[in-house]
Structure 1
Amino acid sequence: MSRRALPYRIPSEDVVQVDPWDLITDDGHIPMPEALPDWDYQMDLHLRRTVRIDQDRARSQTGLPPEAVLMLAVVWTATGSNLSGPAQHVRLTGSGSAAVSLDVRLRGSDLGGLLLVDTALLLAEHRSEGRPSSPRRAGSVLWSDRSALRLQGDAPQFPMAVIDFGRTSFPDGAAWHLQISGNLESATMGSLLLLVNERNTAVATAFENAGKPRDIDRIVLSAVYADTARTMIEHALSLDEFVDGAEFPAESLGETLTALFDQLFPGRSISDMRLRRHQSPSLFASEMQEAVKIFEVSR
């Protein structure tokens, strides 16, 4: 736990003991890793840990009376979606040692990028009386802990939705469509949307099984990845402001497209690939296939 200079007393570090987060899967549970390279927005996350709190010492060391109500809270933040929210909270009104089981479920559609999971011991209710050095405001942080999980692997990640193309302007028989909107400084999460046609059962099923894909699902997902990467690169090369050395805001569409270009074509210049696409589109298409490693199901 990092120590911060606060205008009130906080308990010693050993007042709260925490187990590492576990990632709960269909096959059981594993310690939460540093990264999930195969994660996608269809994959919800289930996390679990136990926190042990010496309530008596937590109150006495902060100058709080025995009846002061404490709270253990979990809050999540996802850098890729720029979203955050409460995950769980447990009120503590007893005495002695308390073992609290935290069980957190997060929707994959809300996540992306780096997932930060903060666990904190708080003062649950405002106190109008007490020692000058003791916490008084509801929500005062007495202890905190942060864990991080990187969710984005090599593939570009952005929101997706499964819809019936028959009710849209898209061709009924198309399998997917990538929407790109906004300028290069727009937030990535608001600029990209992958739409999957529910009428195409092979593609819709592949995304349903993305957490544990079969070989056929991996082939389908490889094709979708290759096509979306091609669409994104061609969109980038069509924009005059997408040039070598350009800088874009963090989490912006420009930053995402630049990162994808550098990943697919390391050592190549944007001007060179723009010229290749203009002069020899068929060769450019073949180089894209090589860059995305299409149909290499071991990705």
Structure 2
Amino acid sequence: MTRRVLPYRVPAEDVVSAETWRLVVEDGEVPLPEAMPDWDYQMDLSLRRTVRVDLERARRQSGLPDDTPLVLSAVWTATGSNLSGPAQQIPMPAYADGIAEFHFRLRGADLGGLLLLDTALLLAERRVDARPSTPRRAGSVLWSDRQTLRLQGDAPQFPMAVIDFARTSFPDDAAWHLQISGGLDSATMGSLLLLVNERNSTTANAFQKASKPGPVDRIVLSAVYADAARIMVEHALNQDDFTEDTDFPEGSLGATLLNLVEQLFPGQSITDIRLRRQQSPALFASDLQAAVKIFEV
């Protein structure tokens, strides 16, 4: 394990004993997997973890007084949404061994891509009388680790909402609508929104059961994915500045669209794909249908 060299003393790694993160599911708890390919933005994540700290050794080896306030902190970061935030902070006792039971829920709408879970033992307060070799600033890291969870695979993932299309400008009987707004440099999470018509019970039910879909649900989800991929690809090809040489910011709409096009049409240049669509749109539609493997359930 690579360890950062900090400008102050820190304790040995073994002063902290951290269990793996656990995912709370309907039937109990399971160890956090490496990936959740069936995850979608309607699926919140409930997470638990137990961390034990030998506080006497942690303070002594860091050169800290016995009563120095310490805190264990968990922070999450989602690469797909470019969002992050504190999940939970647990103050450590002054003299007893520290046992922290993390338990929190993350909103699916805030997540996407790779979920990073960082746990750290921190100095809780600034020390004005600290020696130069010891931690002094509030938030100084004495120990940390990171665990990751991949929340999306090859399929494009974006926020969605179930609404009544009769209250909108969309056709009352349409099943879904993918809304794309903003430029290619805009954040993906703020640029894409899948709207599902609550009046279409077949489609609405399929998304409600997305984590455990039945045969009909899988067909509906496949059709929505194929249509969303088509809309996204066509939107990308309509932009003159959409090329493989453009350096789109990480997490941007342009980067998301470029990744999708590269997955669906590996080894093909954007220029060739754009020309094929212009010269033979019907054949291109069939190419795209084959690329997304529609109805392969």
User: When the two structures are superposed, what TM-score results if normalisation uses the length of structure 2?
Assistant: 0.93
Secondary structure in 2 matching 1:52: strand
Question: Does the alignment pair 1:55 with 2:55?
Answer: yes
Deviations 1:45-99 (A, max 9, x none): 1222211100111111122222222111100011111111111111112423232
Residue 141 of structure 1 is matched in structure 2 by 141
Q: Which amino acid aligns with 1:165?
A: F
Question: Does the alignment pair 1:106 with 2:116?
Answer: no
Deviations 1:243-264 (A, max 9, x none): 4544433222222212111211
Deviations 1:114-137 (A, max 9, x none): 111110111112333344432222
Q: Distance in 2 between matches of 1:156 and 1:178?
A: 12
Which piece of structure 1 moves more, 70-79 or 44-53?
Answer: 44-53
Q: Distance in 1 between matches of 2:146 and 2:2?
A: 9
Q: Which amino acid aligns with 2:48?
A: R
Which piece of structure 1 moves more, 124-133 or 74-83?
Answer: 124-133
Gaps of 5+ in 1: none
Q: Which amino acid aligns with 2:283?
A: L
Gaps of 5+ in 2: none
Residue 14 of structure 1 is matched in structure 2 by 14
Query: 8 Å contact 1:37–1:152 — kept in the other structure?
Result: yes
Q: What does 1:96-175 correspond to in 2, within 5 Å?
A: 96-175=96-175
Query: 8 Å contact 1:76–1:118 — kept in the other structure?
Result: yes
Query: 8 Å contact 2:244–2:258 — kept in the other structure?
Result: no
Query: 8 Å contact 2:78–2:112 — kept in the other structure?
Result: yes
Which piece of structure 1 moves more, 105-114 or 236-245?
Answer: 236-245
Secondary structure in 2 matching 1:117: strand
Query: 8 Å contact 2:35–2:150 — kept in the other structure?
Result: yes
Distance 1:266 1:97, change over 3 A: same
Q: Which amino acid aligns with 2:271?
A: S
Query: 8 Å contact 1:63–1:130 — kept in the other structure?
Result: no
Secondary structure in 2 matching 1:284: helix
Q: Distance in 2 between matches of 1:241 and 1:126?
A: 49
Residue 69 of structure 1 is matched in structure 2 by 69
Deviations 1:128-167 (A, max 9, x none): 3344432222222111111111112110111212222222
Q: Distance in 2 between matches of 1:285 and 1:86?
A: 44
Q: Distance in 1 between matches of 2:90 and 2:243?
A: 51
Q: Which amino acid aligns with 1:62?
A: S
Q: Distance in 1 between matches of 2:183 and 2:215?
A: 37
Secondary structure in 1 matching 2:88: strand
Which piece of structure 1 moves more, 44-53 or 129-138?
Answer: 129-138
Residue 253 of structure 2 is matched in structure 1 by 253
| CA shift for structure 1 position 268 | 3.1
Residue 270 of structure 1 is matched in structure 2 by 270
Q: Which amino acid aligns with 1:234?
A: E
Secondary structure in 1 matching 2:76: strand
Query: 8 Å contact 2:165–2:172 — kept in the other structure?
Result: yes
Q: Distance in 2 between matches of 1:80 and 1:123?
A: 30
Distance 1:276 1:132, change over 3 A: closer
Q: Distance in 2 between matches of 1:53 and 1:208?
A: 41
Q: Distance in 2 between matches of 1:243 and 1:103?
A: 44
Which piece of structure 1 moves more, 98-107 or 66-75?
Answer: 98-107
Which piece of structure 1 moves more, 71-80 or 154-163?
Answer: 154-163
The alignment of Structure 1 onto Structure 2 pairs a total of residues equal to 297
Q: Distance in 2 between matches of 1:143 and 1:150?
A: 24
Which piece of structure 1 moves more, 35-44 or 249-258?
Answer: 249-258
Query: 8 Å contact 2:81–2:187 — kept in the other structure?
Result: no
Q: Distance in 2 between matches of 1:192 and 1:23?
A: 28
Distance 1:272 1:91, change over 3 A: same
Q: Which amino acid aligns with 1:111?
A: L
Residue 92 of structure 2 is matched in structure 1 by 92
Q: Distance in 1 between matches of 2:158 and 2:175?
A: 17
Which piece of structure 1 moves more, 263-272 or 185-194?
Answer: 263-272
Q: Which amino acid aligns with 1:98?
A: G
| CA shift for structure 1 position 2 | 4.3
Residue 210 of structure 1 is matched in structure 2 by 210
Query: 8 Å contact 1:16–1:52 — kept in the other structure?
Result: yes
| CA shift for structure 1 position 14 | 1.0
Query: 8 Å contact 1:39–1:153 — kept in the other structure?
Result: no
